[in-house]
Amino acid sequence: MKTPASFLYNLILALWVGGIAMFTFIVTPAIFKAYNRDMAGEIVDKLFPDYFMFNIVVSILALIVFVSFLYQRKSIESAVSIGLIVVALVVNLYVNFKLHPEILRIKKEVSSFQTMPPDAGPRKEFRKLHGISMALNLLLMADGAGLLLLSSLLKK
């Protein structure tokens, strides 16, 4: 990769990984610590559309910048990088357009997380979908970290 493109690509990946880490490990826990569970959920629900769009945009930007310089580097690292970026883009689109709307639909059936029993059907379904969402979020963070590692290998 050429230096300006490499810098831009690494900046995009840093925003990708850092954005996910900040939202996951700092912002969301702080909100749930400061507010009751129902209110915290409402606040986080307001943040999700922008968070998901941010993740889609950074994965598209990473793909554009990487593909623009891929043909200079026909290597296993390049092929794996393209694969990881495409996987991230597909996961981000799935989360934004399928999983999150399904979570919101189920969440409407939960009158209150504080009063509805944890074994109630809607709570169980929400817990399952929320678990999938959390796992995919961590997968996206690991995907971005893997891309950063591969980026350092491409420079050699």
Domain that holds residue 92: 3-154
Rounded to an integer, the average pLDDT of 112-125 is 90
Q: Where are the beta strands (DSSP E) in 23-117?
A: none
Rounded to an integer, the average pLDDT of 10-16 is 97
pLDDT tens track for 55-73: 999 999 999 999 987 655 6
Residue 16 has pLDDT above 60, yes or no: yes
Residue that has been written with the tokens 């970026």 in this structure: 85
For the chain, the domain total comes to: 1
CA proximity to 139, closest of 63, 65, 77, 84: 84
Distance, in Å, from the CA atom of 109 to the CA atom of 47, rounded to the nearest integer, reads: 21
Q: What are the tokens at 43?
A: 């606040």
Higher pLDDT, 3 or 32: 32
What are the residues whose beta carbons fall under 8 Å from the beta carbon of 73, sequence distance 6 or more? 1, 154
Residue 96 — pLDDT band, cuts 50, 70, 90?
Answer: very high
Q: Where are the beta strands (DSSP E) in the chain?
A: none
